[in-house]
Structure 1
Amino acid sequence: MNFQNPFKLFLSFEFISVLSLFSYQYKNTHPFFTSFDVTVLLNLILIPWAVVLYVRERDRSNRFWSKEVLFFVAMAGWFLLSTLWSSSHSYKIQKALCFSFYTIPAFLMGYLVISNNCERLVRLLQSLLIFALIVFAETFRVFYVKGMGSIQDIMGTNYLVTGQTLGVGLIVLIVYSLHRFVDANRKTLGLEIVLGSLFFYGLINIGGRGPFAACAISTLVLYAVFCRYSNAVKNPLLHLVLFSTVTFVLCVGLNYLFHQQGSHFANRMMPLLNSIKADGSAMERLEFYQSAIKAFVANPVVGLGFGGWPVYHGLSDISYHPHNIFLEIMAETGMVGLLLFVAFLTVCVQGLSLGPILSSPLLVAACLITLFAFMNACKTGDLHDNMLFFFALSLVAGLKRNSISIKVV
């Protein structure tokens, strides 16, 4: 991946967008970020900037009133309208404001501005990788300084947020590495495979089961699709073998260096396989799921209203959620909200075909990041916390719209 001038890249719309999308990763690293909401500050810059770029660069295929945007606006409008009948007082306002100022702009900027320009898409992936590399370096510094005897917070945030950051970095690395391997363009192949293996090691040791599982499934889907539909059938398998071998060797070596046995991922998976000792986190999630379903059955058409589930569950008027995007939408916005959400997802992916996807590393990366973020959204994150999912989906919809096929840059 040929990187642009770093100064130009760091001041680009795409890099600032990445800082906004992943602001939860570094919000606790400096008092300034805790005194002033950095996501709000960045969006105050990004939103007018995006309007200028859209007006300047739009073409006939890049319309605000496309069906993807119309379905998204209809869905978002219903979500916000549901605050009118929510039993929450303070959280519904917080949730509505965050969804309006974080999630809605993320989708619109991704669809109308970034996905419409090949150079912007390349800069976006470069920005994602650079940000992930910074977090990756801090992760290993924490491993070295504090040891690996417990679940680690990186940059003052929890393992789920860091797992999402490292997962996106790993996906970008593997996609570009695999495309170089298939195309026999192997200039930086060794470095990409080693970095990918190190990202893998970080993911299995920060403590999160969900992000690692989501990343592993997304990666296996990538290899399976390439092995089944790529003309160079042997190359993806060979790349997988090479990546797996390097990963195994590095994991063994790093475990010896850090005096670590196994991994936090394996340690946290064991209770799920133990029929005698129940896993507290899993049981809590199951309780949340059952509560959300009961809330939906009690209010099937319009739901509890935005932010209403915590009150229904007896958690008081606090910022919380059922840890599943479908159950959250069902419980708080009813069947109307669920149908609008499913229709929106369908419109965004409708018409995708494997041919254009496999020919473009940008579209492959966007699809894999969307799949990764979707699986994370099915187990954690409030609606406005799942900005990455809606943003990645906007890129897929935009790339599909433009039928862009881009070779590795």
Structure 2
Amino acid sequence: MKLNAKRDTSVRGMRTSLVEKAGEWLFALFLFAGYYKADPRLAFIQTHIDITVLFWVLSFCAFLYRILKKPSTSKIPERFAIVAALFLILVVCLVGSLLYSESTQYGYDKTLRFIVLTGWAFFGAGFLISDILSLKRFSWAIAAISVAMAIDALTGYVGVGRIGFVTAFGSNYIALARTSGLGLLATVAFLLPTERTPLMKLALWGIAALQLWGALSAGARGPVIALILSLVLFFALSARGLPSIRIERYALRLGVVMLAALVILGIFGGELFSTLMFRTQVLISEGGTSALTRFGLYHEAFDLWARSPIWGNGIGGFGIAVTGQDVREYPHNIILELGAETGLIGVLIFVTMLIVAFAKPVINLSAQRGLTTTVTRYLLVACCFALLNAMVSGDINDNRMLFTWIALVASVSRFQKGEAVGSLNLHSIGTYQAKDLAEKLQKGG
């Protein structure tokens, strides 16, 4: 009887543990749902319920479960609360712009999506990703999704030396490049430097290579440029001390690996990633249809913003101004999009969100050590990648993941020494890894 009771308790404990840890994975699946839900293999789900909505509901339920079980997990960092208040002001700005917008259909749809989907992308990060172990589970989820997309892309690879976009799970080439790029940053900026097991480190290097292939083979220029600039920022944040510059040991090793990768790409890149190379040459020499179209949209957005510089022309107004119809259209630049539709007010609110979120982590980074540095640098670099992508493609709701990273950067204090050490759970990641993380955090104090 005692054995059965212990077994039942153990099973219940395992189920509870799985439910508690599933939140970050469900949240990641919600964020990336638009990149894989068009896959015909998932039609049996998509025909009954939209996959984005499904994982929205499931991740929200995971949050409610945690709140009901451990109300203390709802503790919110002060800086996140400030940024959250600014986000709500931006929501009010968007809703208010409906009063003078000519868009009577798309404008309402866009606002509703911002409140429900982009809103949860922001607040879900603040509520669900509550400590260092939670951040690690979320990062593993990103890495896993990016690897799955890269593997699926391999099946549709056009072949060495051939020109053609590479996609995965029924999405477009930009989705593959973005996901692979973000997965690569999660792997090299956070998972690798915090992993101690040699075998797992080796596996992570293999994962990084696959993610790099996915980012470069897709044929998208914007995400690759964003990835390069984000890696440059990673190394810049790893350097300390002037005039005698010292670079963190891990960053130095990563730099050597990146240098070797650049040499290999210089030799074989023209054949392996012919689409990206061809499109880059076209961009430099002729501009290309895609780039010229974007510049045309930028010009339209500037003109529209100039008509009403303070208030903008109302949410959804860009589509009417460009096409003459109430349809989905956007300038592929989040600043110009906000400027054209919500004016200087919307732009200032958004820029203030960025400044408030970034200011303290950037200022404090030079004084940090150990895992604290690793986490802060990772969040800044990932947010930079999302921001750069939002400046060249998609609309504000397509770039909802940017608001996820803004929320995480604003919540960086909860991933650092005090709260992170208190949240370490030996049953969550294993005794060895938990002790190792605790030691790193203490060194970072």
CA distance in 2 between counterparts of 1:162 and 1:368 reads: 19
Alignment-mate amino acid for residue 379 of structure 1: V
Indicate conservation of the 8 Å contact 1:121/1:362, yes or no: no
Task: Give secondary structure in 2 for the equivalent of 1:155.
Answer: coil
CA deviation vs aligned residue, 1:126-177 (integer Å, no higher than 9, x gap): 1111111111211222217899531122211111111111011100111146
Letter paired with 1:329: L
The corresponding residue for 1:152 is 166
Give the distance between the partners of 1:246 and 1:188, measured in 2 at CA: 21
Deviation at 1:20, TM superposition (A): 0.4
Which of 321, 328, 331 in structure 1 is aligned with 2:337?
Answer: 328
Cross-structure match for 1:74:
89
* Number of residues of Structure 1 aligned to a counterpart in Structure 2: 396
The alpha-carbon deviation at position 231 of structure 1 amounts to 5.6
The 1:10–1:16 alpha-carbon spacing in structure 2 relative to 1, beyond 3 Å, is farther
Residue 115 of structure 2 is aligned to residue 105 of structure 1: no
Find the aligned partners of 2:185 and 2:388 in 1 and give their Cα distance: 14
Partner amino acid, structure 2, of 1:269: T
Classify 1:155/1:53 alpha carbon distance in 2 versus 1 (closer, same or farther; 3 Å). Answer: same
Identity fraction in percent? 23
Deviates more, 1:347-356 or 1:145-154: 145-154
Q: What is the rounded CA distance, in whole Å, between the counterparts of 2:248 and 2:184 in structure 1?
A: 22
Distance in 2 (alpha carbons) for counterparts of 1:157 and 1:61: 35
Partner of 1:37: 50
Find the counterpart in structure 2 of residue 23 from structure 1: 33
Find the partner of 2:18 among 8, 11, 19. 8
The unaligned stretches of length 5 or more in structure 2 are 1-13, 421-435, 439-445
Deviations 1:261-285 (A, max 9, x none): 55322211112221xx341111111
CA distance in 2: counterparts of 1:376 and 1:228, whole angstroms: 28
Q: Deviations over 1:6-36 (max 9, x none)?
A: x938970110001100001111113245433
State the SS of the aligned residue for 1:86. Answer: coil
- Could you tell me how far apart the structure 1 residues matched to 2:25 and 2:237 are? 30
1:257-312 per-residue CA deviation (whole Å, 9 max, x = no partner) reads xxx455322211112221xx341111111111111111111011211111110111
Residue 375 of structure 1, CA deviation: 0.3
1:135 and 2:144 aligned: no
For residues 231-252 of structure 1, the C-alpha deviation after alignment (integer angstroms, 9 at most, x for no partner) is 6556533331224325654896
Q: 1:42 to 1:262 in 2, by over 3 A?
A: closer
TM-score (norm 1): 0.86
Task: Give 1:18's aligned amino acid.
Answer: A
> What is the one-letter code of the residue matched to 2:275?
H
Alignment of 1:8-407 (within 5 A): 8=18, 12-29=22-39, 30-32=42-44, 34-35=46-47, 36-54=49-67, 56-58=71-73, 61-62=76-77, 66-114=81-129, 116-143=130-157, 148-176=162-190, 179=193, 188-228=200-240, 233=248, 236-246=251-261, 248-249=263-264, 260=271, 262-274=273-285, 277-314=286-323, 316-352=325-361, 353-354=364-365, 355-356=367-368, 359-360=371-372, 361-400=374-413, 403-404=416-417
Matched residue of 1:346: which SS? Answer: helix
SS where residue 239 of structure 2 aligns?
helix
Q: Please identify, of 42-51 and 339-348, the stretch whose mean Cα deviation from structure 2 is larger.
A: 42-51
Q: C-alpha displacement at 1:39, in angstroms? A: 1.0
Structure 1 unpaired stretches of 5+: none
Q: Partners in 2 of 1:8 and 1:251 — Cα distance?
A: 45
| 1:302-330 deviation per Cα after TM superposition (whole angstroms, max 9, x unaligned) | 11111110111125222221100000000
Paired amino acid for 1:223:
F
Aligned residue identity for 2:336: L
Pairwise CA RMSD: 3.1
CA-CA distance at 1:374 after TM superposition: 0.4
Larger deviation, residues 157-166 vs 219-228: 219-228
On the 8 A contact 2:376/2:412 being kept in 1, the answer is yes
Closer, same or farther in 2 for the Cα pair 1:28/1:351, shift >3 Å?
same
Query: Does 166-175 or 146-155 show the bigger shift?
Result: 146-155
Q: Which has the higher contact order (CA 8 A, sep 6+)?
A: 1
- The offset of 1:80, in angstroms, is 2.3
TM-score norm. by structure 2 comes to 0.80
The structure having more radius of gyration, on CA atoms, is: 2
Task: Give 1:254 deviation, angstroms.
Answer: 9.0
CA distance in 2, matches of 1:90, 1:152: 34
Please name the residue that 2:442 is paired with: none
Q: Do the aligned partners of residues 9 and 132 (structure 1) sit closer, same or farther apart at CA in structure 2, a change above 3 Å counting?
A: farther
Matches of 1:242 and 1:316, distance apart in 2 = 51
| 2:429 matched residue in structure 1 | none
Contact 1:211-1:376 at 8 Å conserved across structures:
yes
3-state SS of paired residue (2:204): helix
**In 1: Cα distance, 2:308 partner to 2:410 partner:** 32
What is the CA-CA distance between 1:349 and the residue it aligns to? 1.8
Cα shift at 1:89: 2.1
Partner residue in 1 for 2:427: none
Residues 233, 402 of structure 1: alpha-carbon distance in 2 compared, 3 angstrom cutoff: closer
Amino acid at match of 1:330: G
**Structure-2 change in CA distance of 1:185 and 1:408 (3 Å):** farther
